[in-house]
Amino acid sequence: MSTLRYPQGNGQAEASNKTIINCLKNSLTDKKGKWPDELLECLWAYRTTKRRATGETPFPLAFGSKAIIPPNIIVPSISTLLPSIEQNSKEMATSLDMVEEKCEHTITLIATYQQQFLSNYNKRAKIRQFQLRDLILRKAFITARREASKKMDPIWEGLYNISRVGCKGHYTLATMNDKEIKKQ
């Protein structure tokens, strides 16, 4: 279910919903109950804002043409600048022919963005190698028993040792009594 055709499974739906909700929060500073009135403007802003990863707005990537501003706002566009319907049709056909090239260009931009993101992430990542029997602390995860935990509770727990070393930085932890800890 984690495919491009199923955005609920790969986090795209949550990411776009988060962006739209943030836009609504910013536009509703003093008019809290009026979010339905502001929703269309936030959706329009979301659909017509260029993304850093692709350099394009979502609209032309999905539909192959730029979004046209509602008719009550007059802004020059190809359809209004060209004198005849025939010329407009030719320009639209040309832009439709360029859709595949635009998609390839966007894929290249995405790959470049991902490489930049990965290199920035790897700059900050501190790779540490552990050996058998090394003593370590483990990050305390919020579990059912810790749900009511306080703000000042420790974020690290226990004193564990490494009982087995796996590949790619995977380790099996054991307590000081050599009892292995199961994955959480």
Task: Map out the domains of the chain as residue ranges.
Answer: 7-124, 135-174
Query: pLDDT tens for residues 30-78?
Result: 676 777 888 888 888 888 888 877 778 877 777 777 766 665 455 556 5
- What pLDDT shows up at residue 64? 73
Q: 101 burial class (0-12, 13-18, 19+ CB within 10 angstroms)?
A: exposed
Interval 144-153 mean pLDDT: 57
Residue 160 pairs with which residues in a beta bridge? 136
- What pLDDT shows up at residue 72? 45
Average model confidence (pLDDT) across the chain: 77
Query: pLDDT tens for residues 107-116?
Result: 998 999 999 9
pTM of the predicted protein model: 0.38
Q: CA 56 to CA 54: how far, in whole Å?
A: 5
Lowest mean pLDDT among 93-97, 120-124, 172-176: 93-97
Query: For tokens 């930085």, what's the residue?
Result: 169
Query: pLDDT tens for residues 166-175?
Result: 877 788 889 9
Query: For tokens 């602390």, what's the residue?
Result: 137
